[in-house]
Structure 1
Amino acid sequence: MGKLLPRSLAGQAVALQVAVVAVIVIGGSVLAVIDSRIDEERAARDQVTAVAVALADAPSVAAALEAPDPTAALQPVTEQVRAATGIAFITIMSTDGTRFTHTTPALIGQKYIGATAQALRGEVYTEEETGTLGPSIRTIAPVRAPDGRIVGMVAAGITIEKLTEAWMGQLPLILTVAVASLVVAFGGLWLIRRRLRAQTGGLAPAELRLMYEHHDAVLHAIREGLIVLDDGRAVLANDEARRLLGSVADAGENQLDMPGFLTDGVGSLDDVLTAHRGRVLMMSRSPVPGREDGAVVTIRDRSEVLEALGELDTMTRFAETLRSRAHESANRLHTIITLIEMGRADEAARSATTELELSQQLIDHMTDAVVEPTLAALLLGKIAQASERGITLTLTEDSHLTDRTAGLLQPSEMITVVGNLIDNALDAADPDDPWVEVTIVGDAASLEVTVADSGPGMDPDVFTKAQERGYSTKNGGDEAGRGLGLALVAQVVARHHGTLRAENTYGSVVTTRLGRAVNTGSTGAP
């Protein structure tokens, strides 16, 4: 069977439709023929019954049957009625079945062939019987005298041959309608085949299924978000798009709820926008030719790239700090060596131990207050960096961070938040009174980071704009590598449903809170 079907999907679909249409048309034609035969037979029965009853009820027929020569009075009448109605015969007979009239005059006087018992009981009876003219449908009705006596019978009939000729005469019309229906149907199916072939590229069902399976696998495997829009609604989104947007979800009837910024506009290339949980996304929207509300949207995540840039910037600052510390340590080492060469060993030892004690005290303070080693190293590096720039950077006595805070932020995220807030504070500190103060308080349920500086601070509008990528109060913005710090902090905070606010109190104070509210001691400017 499979070898008989065409190869392409269009051909197979149309071939099956042709078979179905042919069965329907042929079946309908057969039913029409059968219905025509049934209708003709029903009409014939009604006709012969009407003729027989009409003649039997005529007073002249009853009177003629009691006359000396019934044939002379009734034969002309019956032949006239038979010619007018087109039936095969009309026979009027006596109660014993002797014919007084017949289509063939030579048969007059002979016995009627057929059932008469029902008529003699006063019933009108219709039957199919074979008589002198062949098989026929006939009706026999009783003839009553005025006093109610049955004085004779009237039989009217139509031959099966003539009946067959009648319904066979409708076959040409039925066949013409059937052939015309097939021609119109095949023409329409041919047009459908052309359209299906154009839309499916002449591919076979197996090829289309294979193409779909590979297309679906590729769609969900690519690491770029892809969304297909139709009539302003998203009808398809791959796994990466759902991950990036977060809010993409099935909305029933194979539709998707989409953020408004994806369905607005006509066309765009690499638009930067903030979406679910503060992600920074790059979106390109390409309209589909020929479809006014159709478009293909591709989405790329810039958050991870920006976080990597922030970490790279932190590592770069670490490297600069280590370089400066190495240079400073080299100077101190040369001083100690020179004191020893001058014979002042006691002063050399005192200088070395004093420096070591100060460094150890600072390290001990950091590790006691901040148990996270990565964050402690960051703060030590920032203190050294601030010292080189002539800025006093301190970790307040209120700071206390437990090892259970890692459940709120990963070490890399904590470095991003604290490092960028300190960098911004170092850049904003007042040159005449340069200081930066850091307070970090956290436990398993909450984390609060407060960074204050002696700078002028930002009003709410500027602070809101500063959380956008590329915005900077300094010249250059994104092109100069600025405008990343606070945007990265805002992304981390949004991702963890925290808060980020700025105020001007004892200085410019920026506070980040994650988890439940944290109560900290009062802080003041140094």
Structure 2
Amino acid sequence: MTHWRQLPARAWPRSLAGQAIALQVLVVAVVVLAGTALALLDARRDGEDAAREQVIGIATALADSPSTAAAIESGTATKVLQPVTEAVRTSTDIAFITIMAPDGVRFTHTDPTQIGGHYLGTVEPALRGQTFSEVYTGTLGPSVRAIAPVRSADGRIVGLVSAGITQQTLAQRWRAQIPVIAAVTAAALAVSLIGVWAIRRRLLRQTRGLRPDELRVMYDHHDAILHSVSEGLIVLDRDGVALANDEARRLLGLASGPVRTQDLPQFLRSADPGVRDELHVTADRVLVVNRARVAGAGSEVVTIRDRTELQGALGELSSLQVLADSLRAQAHESANKLHTVVTMVEMGRPEDAVRFATSELELSQRLVDRLSLAVGEPALVALLLGKTAQADERGIALTVTEDTQLSADAVLSGQEMVTVLGNLIDNAMDACDRDDPWIEVTVTQDDHELLIRVADSGPGMDSDTFEKAMQRGYSTKSADPAGHGLGLALVGQVIRKHGGTLRADVTYGSVVTATVPRP
């Protein structure tokens, strides 16, 4: 068995397009040549059938003519019928018309010297009254002939009429059709080759002239990469979702099988090419989305990265950074206070120095002690202390209510508490009234649910704005016109993950309340 690789490079094309076209050319050539052969055979068979019908019709017409029987019975058959048969033979372009007696003696013949001789051929069926045809070799060579009986007025068979066409004449007739068949064949072959050439150009453009083994390797690599990359990949075209790899299905919660456009999140359903590192929040993830249009292909490639864990870590880092900044500021402030205490001692007023030094210390220590006793989560204590210091620097009165009480077995983890409360406090700091800036924080948990409430002196948000902020990551800051805020969206993600609710209202201030039921 011969394989394609064993053929020389010049004997068989290497590219997929070349091999496909070579096979098509072979198939087209075989089909066209086979069709030509069948057309020639059909033309020959049709010619023989037409000739058979023609000679039967001529023989029958002459045999049924009353003048033929009358001439035979009168004994003037040759004189009367010879001119008639020759005239008919000439006008119909057949080889011969022979009228004979029942014993086969010829009355007429194309060759007058054959008149009076015996007819060469089968006559028995005609003597029994049948009209039939046969192929027989006579004086003029092989011919297709028909024999019909001639009946008298009383029904007796008084003679026979034979009409025939030589096979040489038939061959000349169907060979005359060869130029037409050849022209049709050439036209069909030319049209087929033009079509094949157009297909070749299209295949070359679509396969870029690659060989079948190169295409197979490319597909294997493509498939392996799609299944192994850690980023989600989605290809969108005019018909919807053309491709979605395993990671994209995992990040977006898509089921196996074909993916419809309506299965995608809202932010992927509309065409928006050119997006770079856009953050979107789903029910349980923070995703970074990049979109790019494929030039000339009418499709769009979307890459998705998971930033959920990183976002949580950044939230904790931000809280620690706030605490560190607050500690640094307090260290600077403590240095100023220490200089004041030293100066008071030098001025001979030690009692005033002690009273000044211990008043600030007692206030700070009292807050640390109260939060440490009331809240069993160290990360949350650190967050509240840091936010309190940060608010103090910004001139905002941040109060942790006396109702705040949280045991170590909180419904939310420390990281989730930092995400929820840290973002709510940050939003409150940005939204509170600058003429009367205050924030009030309450965190409690009973046997039924965890409650987190953050109130501020700001105007609050209406229900539509609040819902939009939770769904897409919305910011009301003038410095963020693109709407890339993620605060409330991240809070809503954590709360929904645990089956809780998040609501906003305006009562004694702008109040945002998160409740999470205990399992």
- Cα distance 1:477–1:448, how it changes in 2: closer, same or farther (>3 A)? farther
Match of 1:512 in 2: 514
One-letter amino acid of the counterpart of residue 502, structure 1: A
Match of residue 218 from structure 1: 225
Superimposed CA distance per residue, residues 133-169 of structure 1 (whole angstroms, 9 cap, x where no aligned partner): 2222111111111111111111111122221222122
Residues 351-380 of structure 1 show CA distances to partners (whole Å, capped at 9, x for unaligned) of xxxx9999888645534xxxx665566567
Matched, 1:314 2:349: no
Question: Partners in 2 of 1:424 and 1:413 — Cα distance?
Answer: 17
How far apart, CA to CA, are the structure 1 residues paired with 2:266 and 2:366? 60
SS at match of 2:283: helix
- What code does the residue aligned with 1:441 have? Q
Q: 1:308 offset after TM fit, Å?
A: 3.0
Query: How much has 1:174 moved relative to structure 2?
Result: 1.7
Q: In the alignment, which of 354, 366, 375 is matched to residue 366 of structure 1?
A: 375
Q: When the two structures are superposed, what TM-score results if normalisation uses the length of structure 2?
A: 0.77
- Alignment correspondent of 2:204: 197
Structure 1 residues 483, 123: closer, same or farther in 2, change over 3 A?
A: closer
Equivalent position to 1:8, from 2, 15, 25: 15
CA positional deviation for 1:128: 1.6
CA distance in 1, matches of 2:237, 2:485: 37
Q: What amino acid does structure 2 have at the position aligned with 1:134? A: G
- Of 498, 501, 507, the residue aligned with 1:499 is 501
Task: Please list the CA deviations of residues 91-131 of structure 1 after superposition, one character each: whole Å capped at 9, or x if unmatched.
Answer: 11112222222223333223222222221221111112222
- In structure 1, the residue matched to 2:213 is 206
Contact 1:310 1:485 in 2 (8 A): no
Q: Deviations over 1:376-412 (max 9, x none)?
A: 6656777898899975424627x5668483xxx5442
Counterpart for residue 171 of structure 2: 164
Deviations 1:254-294 (A, max 9, x none): 87754564454664343746453275555444444446x54
Deviations 1:34-63 (A, max 9, x none): 100111000110110011001101111101
The answer to whether residue 38 in structure 2 is matched with residue 31 in structure 1 is yes
What letter matches 1:123 in structure 2?
Answer: Q
Q: SS of the residue aligned with 1:128?
A: strand
Sort the Cα spacing of 1:245 and 1:11 in 2 relative to 1 into closer, same or farther, 3 A: same
Q: Which amino acid aligns with 1:268?
A: G
Amino acid at match of 2:167: I
Residues 483, 88 of structure 1: alpha-carbon distance in 2 compared, 3 angstrom cutoff: closer
Q: Which amino acid aligns with 1:137?
A: V
Offset at 1:202?
Answer: 1.7
Q: 2:491 aligns with which of 489, 492, 499?
A: 489
Match of 2:415 among 392, 404, 412: 412
Identify the match of residue 443 of structure 2 among 423, 436, 439: 439
Question: For residues 188 and 139 of structure 2, what CA distance do their matches in structure 1 show?
Answer: 44
The residue that corresponds to 2:282 in the other structure is: 276
Alpha-carbon distance in 2 for matches of 1:425, 1:97 = 129
Question: For 1:442 and 1:88, how far apart are their aligned partners in 2?
Answer: 121
1:81 paired to 2:83: no
| Contact 2:474–2:485, Cα closer than 8 Å, also in 1 | yes
CA separation of 1:117 and 1:503: change in aligned 2, threshold 3 A? same
* From 115, 118, 136, the counterpart of 1:111: 118
Matches within 5 A, 1:87-98: 87-98=94-105
* Pairing 1:18–2:25 present: yes
Report the alpha carbon displacement of residue 455 of structure 1 after superposing the two structures with TM.
3.4
Quote how far apart the aligned CAs of 1:311 are.
1.4
SS at match of 1:471: coil
CA distance, structure 2, for counterparts of residue 277 and residue 160 of structure 1:
90
Per-residue displacement from partner, 1:215-255 (whole Å, max 9, x unpaired)? 34334544444433333733233444444444698657x87
Contact 1:93 1:154 in 2 (8 A): yes
Could you say what the CA RMSD is over the residues aligned between the two structures, in angstroms? 4.5
Matches of 1:60 and 1:478 in 2, distance apart? 114
SS in 1 for 2:105: coil
Q: Secondary structure of the equivalent of 2:276?
A: strand
Q: Name the SS for the 1:66 alignment partner.
A: helix
SS of 1:154's partner is: strand
CA distance in 1, matches of 2:47, 2:114: 28
Instruction: Determine which of 444, 450, 468 is the counterpart of 1:448.
Output: 450
Amino acid at match of 1:488: L
Q: 453, 475, 478: which one pairs with 1:471?
A: 475
Identity %: 50
Q: Which amino acid aligns with 2:375?
A: M
* Distance in 2 between residues matched to 1:438 and 1:248, nearest whole Å: 41
Partner of 1:143: 150
Distance 1:275 1:71, change over 3 A: farther
Deviation sequence 1:396-452 (CA, Å, 0-9, x none): 27x5668483xxx54422331134335556785999896734233367xx7533224
Is the 2:460–2:511 Cα contact (8 Å) retained in structure 1? no
Q: How does 1:291-306 map to 2 (within 5 A)?
A: 294-300=299-305, 304-306=309-311
Distance 1:56 1:111 in 2: 19
* Maintained 8 Å contact 2:125/2:132: yes
| Count of aligned pairs | 486
Deviates most, 458-467 or 183-192: 458-467
Asked whether the equivalents of residues 435 and 454 of structure 1 are also in contact (C-alpha less than 8 Å), the reply is: yes
The change in CA–CA distance for 1:366 and 1:191 in structure 2 (over 3 A counts) is: closer
Distance 2:370 2:465 in 1: 39
SS at match of 1:503: strand
- Tell me if the contact between 2:59 and 2:147 (Cα under 8 Å) persists in the aligned partners: yes
Q: Does the Cα contact within 8 Å between 1:247 and 1:276 map onto a contact in 2? A: no
Find the aligned partners of 1:112 and 1:477 in 2 and give their Cα distance: 116
* Alpha-carbon distance in 2 for matches of 1:114, 1:501: 114
| Unpaired segments ≥5 residues, structure 1 | 336-354, 519-526
Moved more, 169-178 or 143-152: 169-178
Deviation at 1:74, TM superposition (A): 2.0
Task: Describe the SS at the equivalent of 2:475.
Answer: coil
- Output the CA distance in 1 between the equivalents of 2:428 and 2:107: 134
2: CA distance, partners of 1:240 / 1:380: 40
Classify 1:172/1:328 alpha carbon distance in 2 versus 1 (closer, same or farther; 3 Å): closer
**CA gap 1:323/1:430 in 2 versus in 1, 3 angstroms:** same
Aligned equivalents of 2:319, 2:367: Cα separation in 1: 25
Q: Would you say the 8 A contact 1:93–1:153 is kept in 2?
A: yes
